[in-house]
Amino acid sequence: MKVNLLEFDLDGLAAFCEQLGEKRFRATQLFRWLHQRGADDFDHMSDLAKSLREKLKGCAHVQALPVISEHQSSDGTVKWLFDVGAGNAVEAVFIPEDDRGTLCISSQAGCAVGCRFCSTGHQGFSRNLTTGEIVAQLWFAEHMLRKRLGTTDRVISNVVMMGMGEPLQNYAALVPALRVMLDDHAYGLSRRRVTVSTSGVVPMMDRLAQDCPVALAVSLHAPNDSLRDDLVPLNRKYPVQELMDACNRYLEHAPRDFITFEYCMLDGVNDLPEHAMQLVDLVKQHAHTGVWCKFNLIPFNPFPASGLHRSAAARVTAFAGILMNAGIVTTVRKTRGDDIDAACGQLAGEVQDRTRVVERMAKRRTINIQLADAGAQTYKET
């Protein structure tokens, strides 16, 4: 079987080349061809010795992900659906803005965390993507957009791991992929412009701080354990307090001096003034400096199976107001690519669920309904 060269960071490629009897600088040349030039044909790599090119042809290839579909939104957002085999597909989204180009990529086919408001979560989990499959999304998008725009300049300036999957539950594949993004011989992205978004896998946050600190976004969504347990089931394992402590530890190594807290605004669930006030308490309590976090309020992108609704704009403004009055930098995320289902949490791909996430979620919904019914009864009795 041929080795997919997109699987390697530079050290990995150097080790592979060494096995072929080649020096490290050859690996660097090859790495540049792959990632800076987007080459996938060894014959085009003109400064590599013919003998090396022949060797590579025999044992290696550049395996791109087959594109199932491409959709372009009226606002310029582009969404690709990639085939990752066995009936699974993952999505990546390019979001052009005046001063940057952001690519949102996937780390898993599905997700095992099972957040109530997330359409990926509702699909269950199939498998981790490999490093090569994570990198292939960037490799494809960058070089395809350059061709389309007729430029040799960099098009993608920022990468966010906010597509399908929980990146910190695919740690071993994630870290080499991040290294490829950061490497000056590849995409050369700044650490501040590569963001890992996590639902709060505390031990892996600590490891990331050591192995490859990049910007960190934490999907908070609730100010207390009882609500967060329900919305983000991982909270039962790593409760809010532990998560806050992990954020502070991460900040000691982070390329930015703040954590971004993502907060999906769910009508009547987590969007009341009391929730905002609890958040203020939560983050102030731990603040070593005044500004160590920012809030990014995300209007919920509804999908029928969730049974949840988007908060009214006035609610979001009031919520943001409370945070800002307490001195917390708060932004409300613009929804982009709405018309092509490319907005946050709408990335659904295709997932052959191999876990019991979907079943568990259905059970939880039943329990919630029962609890609600029980609540109603108690109310009637008193």
Q: Rounded to an integer, what distance in angstroms lies between the CA atom of residue 12 and that of residue 329?
A: 40
Which residues carry out catalysis? 91, 344
| Beta partners for residue 265, in sequence order | 299
Residue among 88 and 199 whose Cβ is closer to ligand SF4: 199
Is the Cβ of residue 136 or residue 358 nearer to ligand SF4 in the bound state? 358
36 binding ligand SF4? (CB under 6 A): no
Strands (E), the chain: 3-4, 60-61, 67-72, 78-85, 88-96, 101-104, 108-110, 125-128, 158-161, 194-198, 215-219, 259-265, 293-299, 329-332
Residue 102 binds ligand SAH (CB under 6 A): no
Q: Does 124 bind ligand SF4 (CB under 6 A)?
A: no
Contacting range for ligand SF4; rule: CB under 6 A; set: 52-60, 117-125, 299-307, 316-324:
117-125
120 binds ligand SF4 (CB under 6 A): yes
**What tokens does 123 get?**
């699909």
Per-residue interface string for the shown chain with ligand SAH, residues 184-223, x marking contact by CB under 6 A: -------------xxx-------------------x----
Closest CA to 92 of 121, 67, 60, 116: 67
Q: Which does 114 bind (CB under 5 to 8 A by kind): ligand SAH, ligand SF4, none?
A: ligand SF4
Task: Report in angstroms how near the CB of residue 201 gets to ligand SF4 at its nearest.
Answer: 9
Question: 187 vs 63, 258, 329, CA distance in Å?
Answer: 18, 24, 30
121 binds ligand SF4 (CB under 6 A): yes
Q: Measure CA 274 to chain center.
A: 29
Instruction: In angstroms, give the least distance from the CB of 262 to ligand SAH.
Output: 4
Q: 278 in helix, strand or coil?
A: helix
* Helix runs in 110-260, H state only: 119-123, 131-149, 171-182, 202-211, 225-231, 240-251
Selected from 300, 316, 323, 357, the binder of ligand SAH by CB under 6 A is 300
Q: Is 158 in the site for ligand SAH (CB under 6 A)?
A: no
CB 115 within 8 A of CB 232: yes
Give contact residues for ligand SAH (rule: CB under 6 A): 111, 117-119, 162, 166, 197-199, 219, 262, 264, 298, 300-301, 344-345
Give contact residues for ligand SF4 (rule: CB under 6 A): 111, 113-115, 118, 120-121, 165-166, 199, 219
